[in-house]
Amino acid sequence: MKRILILGAGTAGTMAANKLHKKLGGTWDITIVDQDEIHYYQPGFLFIPFGSYRPEDVIRTKREFVPKGVNYVSGNIATLDPESNKVTLADGTELGYEYLIIATGTHPTPSETPGLDGPEYGKTVHDFYTFEGSVALRDALAKFESGRLVVNLIEMPIKCPVAPLEFALLAESHFTKLGTRDNIEIVYVTPLDAAFTQPVAAKHLGSMLGDRMIVLEPDFYLERIDAENKKLVSYDEREIDYDLLVTVPINMGADFVHEAGLGDEMRHVNVDHHNFLSKDHDNIFAIGDAANLPTSKAGSVAHFAMDVFVPNFVNHVKGLPMEEEFDGHSNCYIETGYNKAMLIDFNYETQPLPGKYPVPGFGPFSLLKESEINHWGKLAFKWMYWNMLLAGRDIPVPSHMMMAGKDRSAA
């Protein structure tokens, strides 16, 4: 039987396993490999530091979402040899394939930034992009009653690009509720020239930071962290002091991607942006955060992309043309604190604009505007993720972005 090998049983890999099993199970042998047995609900990491999610809320096992009939292999991926269609695991196990799907994501890599990965990590220097990081940060925030909190994004691209802004806004709301806000200065330090990348959203989000008295420090390209003296130092020698630092380490793809020569400078797989096929090999695809698509690295993107990827993949293995084209559709809730959230919806061509979603003119969600319903939408998403999305069940929103319901005049 011909073999499909999926590397990574996270959001994208698990969805692909479920959908491909339905389409090709029985005629193809499908194997999925992962080094970790735990499936984390990563959007939940943002809420753990503030105590609104408990650590156990974000943990399930990877195996429970992989369908019977798909082989689950537990192991570290050591090397990929694309010329001989072979993956070797750290324990020496060799896995051959006819078609390979890389879904190994992107990961915070503190070792890329001098001074970050030292003795202060987990004490005065934190991240919230890992389970351990968000739990350690919860404990640090509980003790933090005065001083300067610096929220920093080191370099784009990162997964969930709105998360650092959400963290700053949630922290502001959190300290206000606790009555400590007046004693805490919050500074948002970013290499971008504004609060966010996309102009209309950046304007909305930037004015929100101003309203909340969060200081924006743009164009700050971090060279190193002087953890001993609690300073951020930029490439052009600017310095920013902190008492508590919450940073987003540089995100990079897997080492084996780089060593196999498939990656860009961030080790994300070079793929066709519309069909996810590797630019170097006709039997290798990359999906989810592992691919170098010029759109957000986010579960919503992996989900929308799946509706394009699966029919294309099925055609491709049969020798038929790939007919679907991905538009880069992304959709993110932005938690803004005080039990409210915003929602943004965009693609490769169209930046986030104000309007209503998913039903034009009605909603119930508001685009680029704070509302309580948006906040409940974000919270409800956890249930959808565990119960529908991973299993590859259809969620009643269109996978391509729609202009209906959006206010073009705002652009």
Partner 1 sequence: MPVTTIADREIHVDDDGFLTEFEEWDEDLARTLATNIGIPDLTDDHWKVITFLRSDFQQQGETATLRRVSTIGGIPTKSLFQLFPKKPARKMSYVAGLQKPKGCI
Chain residues binding partner 1 by CB under 8 A are 155-157, 161, 192-193, 197-198, 219, 221, 223, 235-236, 264-266, 294-296, 330
CA 111 – CA 129 distance, rounded (Å): 15
Query: CA dist 220 to 156, 190, 240, 335, Å?
Result: 12, 6, 10, 24
Report the nearest approach of partner 1 to the CB of residue 304 (Å): 14
Number of residues in the chain: 411
Q: Which is nearer to partner 1, 328 or 392 (CB)?
A: 328
Tell me how far, at minimum, the Cβ of 237 lies from partner 1, in Å: 9
Q: How far is the CB of 157 from partner 1 (least distance, A)?
A: 4
Least distance CB 318 / partner 1 (angstroms): 30
Up-side HSE of residue 161: CA atoms within 13 Å toward CB? 23
Dihedral angle computed from the Cα positions of residues 211, 217, 218 and 223, in that order, rounded to the nearest 10 degrees: -150
Nearest CB to partner 1, comparing residues 89 and 192: 192
- 46: Cα within 13 Å, side-chain hemisphere: 24
Q: What is the rounded end-to-end Cα distance, in angstroms, of the chain?
A: 52
**What is the distance of C-alpha 25 from the center of its chain?**
29
Question: Between residues 221 and 362, which has the closer beta carbon with respect to partner 1?
Answer: 221
- Which distant-in-sequence residues (6+ apart) come within 8 Å of 301 by Cβ? 288, 293, 295, 328, 329, 330
Q: List Cβ<8 Å contacts ≥24 apart for 309-313.
A: 309/16, 309/275, 309/276, 309/285, 310/16, 310/19, 310/20, 310/23, 312/275, 312/276, 313/20, 313/99, 313/101, 313/285
Nearer to partner 1, 71 or 351 (CB): 351
Q: Is 233 helix (H, G, I), strand (E, B) or coil?
A: strand
Q: Toward partner 1, which CB reaches closer, 193 or 394?
A: 193
- Residue corresponding to tokens 């609690």: 230
For the bound state, the minimum distance from the C-beta of residue 223 to partner 1, rounded and expressed in Å, comes to 7
- Least distance in Å: CB of 409 to partner 1? 17
- Measured from the CB atom, the residue of 227 and 250 that comes closer to partner 1 is 250
> Would you say 16 or 298 has its CB closer to partner 1?
298
Q: Please, what is the minimum distance in Å from the beta carbon of residue 155 to partner 1?
A: 7
